[in-house]
Amino acid sequence: MRADLQNEFKTYTGKLHASGLVDDVEPLLGVLDADLCWNAPSKNRIVLEKVFAKLNINALLWARPAEPYRTLIDYLARTSDGTIYPQDTETRTFMHDLPVADQFTAEAIINALHKRKSVIIPGHGIVTFGTVGLEQAYVSFACVCFACFVKFFLDYRRTTKHKHPGRGLQTAFDKACRFLGPPPACDERLRTGPFTAAPQIIAAMEEAGQQVVAQRLVDAFFGNLSFCDGNTLFISQTGSSLDNLRGCIDPCPLDGSSCVSITASSEYPTHRQIIERSDHRAILHGHPKFAVILSMDCDVEGCDDAGDCHRRCSHDRDINGLPVVPGEVGSGPYSLAQTVPQALVANTGVIVYGHGVFTVGQIDFNRPFKNLVEIENNCRQEYFKRL
């Protein structure tokens, strides 16, 4: 096996462990190069080699997720009708829905992966693939875990509003809660501003991105951040991993004199509007789980916006005084650029329905990062208080 392929296997195995997505069972990674190469021996290779033979893919990932994902994903899968339908933004945008197979066979896996990027097999784990590399398979795996976590805890909250959850759901909930782990922390001070040169800004952005990932406030390659210096907005590129931003930060002139922003984050319009409408210079955007869960916990009955809440909402909502706004990625009439900047004029943080949190600061990323941590911890406490 080539040394670079061994390093790739090591990289993504490390990412899966570091993010808490897998634990005791080593993930199985396969890449089709000149030959089909695997990172480890496994009896499951017999089944998964048939998947490679039938699909136009060059990378595949199988793993049993770590707790609490294992318990809650198995529960959702076993109680589904063959498909899980999360409503968070990541799933709506990238996954649509999550197919479930009733057995770990090549035929069942192939049938699901013909239509979607993942398949869940209760008791066996998750299979995802990539057409250009392991990055895609890793991202899809992380998306499934994130989406199922959000859906499970939101479903439990909604169920207990009206009735007893039933033995199966309650047992799964109690077990999942035992594995939640500690809340995110803000123990280390980040680089302090003001920053006066591009290398300082880029180093501060790289450090902040690493901390957002380390505290599990974002999954896979989602989330973004930026810093404005004069007429230049430094912003993470679309599809970049926040814990590995080297070479993935674009300096975008706000006067439009360059087309660099073509590769910038898809939320560049939102970042630009925040900068132009306030004195904030540092922006962090993460996807902390309990903030996303509570953003979709609404008590309004018979709302005309039901089913379209992620795009528009007729009600002013907040969580402990922090505004909750709708908005889609991009720059259309229902975009985040229409809702988030306005909310940040009078606040240092805002929660987007089903999506995540934006926080801002004036000279560096210390205040935005601290706010992001505090918002998620407050939402976590508020979630259990509402039960």
Strands 349-352 and 322-325: parallel
Q: Compute the distance between CA of residue 357 and CA of residue 289 in angstroms, rounded to an integer.
A: 10
Strand (E) positions, the chain? Answer: 28-32, 36-38, 59-63, 83-84, 98-99, 118-121, 125-130, 224-229, 232-236, 249-253, 282-286, 317-319, 322-325, 349-352, 356-361
Nearest to 310 by CA among 86, 72, 76: 86
Q: In terms of CATH, what superfamily is 3-178? A: Class II aldolase/adducin N-terminal domain (3.40.225.10)
Per-residue pLDDT at 109: 98
What is the model's pLDDT at position 259?
Answer: 61
Amino acid, single-letter form, for residue 108: A
The whole-number mean pLDDT for each consecutive block of 10 residues of the chain, a chain of 387 residues, reads: 86 94 90 92 94 96 97 97 92 90 96 96 96 94 96 96 94 98 92 95 97 91 92 92 94 79 81 93 97 93 80 89 91 89 94 96 97 98 96
C-alpha–C-alpha distance, residues 120 and 386, integer Å: 30
Do residues 285 and 224 lie in contact, with contact meaning Cβ atoms separated by under 8 Å? yes
Comparing CA positions, the residue from 305, 303, 310 lying closest to residue 352 is 310
Sign of CA dihedral 95, 266, 372, 305: negative
Non-local CB neighbours of 8 within 8 Å, separated by 6+ positions: 31, 133, 134
Contact 215, 184 (CB under 8 A): yes
Predicted local distance difference test score (pLDDT) of residue 59:
97
Closest to 146 measured CA to CA, from 59, 21, 275: 21
Query: Strand pairing partners for 227?
Result: 234, 282
CA–CA distance, 328 with 355 (Å, rounded to integer): 9
Containing H/E element for 170?
helix 167-178
Structural contact between residues 240 and 219, judged by C-beta atoms closer than 8 angstroms: no
Residue with tokens 């209760």, as numbered in its chain: 122
pLDDT at 256: 75
Closest of 50, 40, 67, 41 to residue 125, by C-alpha: 67
Per-residue confidence (pLDDT) for residue 385, from 0 to 100: 96
Q: Which of 350, 371, 369 is nearest to 295 (CA)?
A: 350
Best CA proximity match to 118, nearest among 147, 91, 93, 141? 141
Report the number of secondary-structure helices (H) and strands (E) in the chain. Answer: 12, 15
CB 32 within 8 A of CB 55: no
Domains of the chain, residue spans: 3-178, 200-386
At residue 261, the pLDDT reads 63
**CATH architecture classification, 200-386:** 3-Layer(aba) Sandwich (3.40)
CA-to-CA separations, 64 to 26, 145, 235, in angstroms, rounded: 8, 11, 35
Is 200-386 the same fold as 3-178? yes
CA 78 – CA 121 distance, rounded (Å): 9
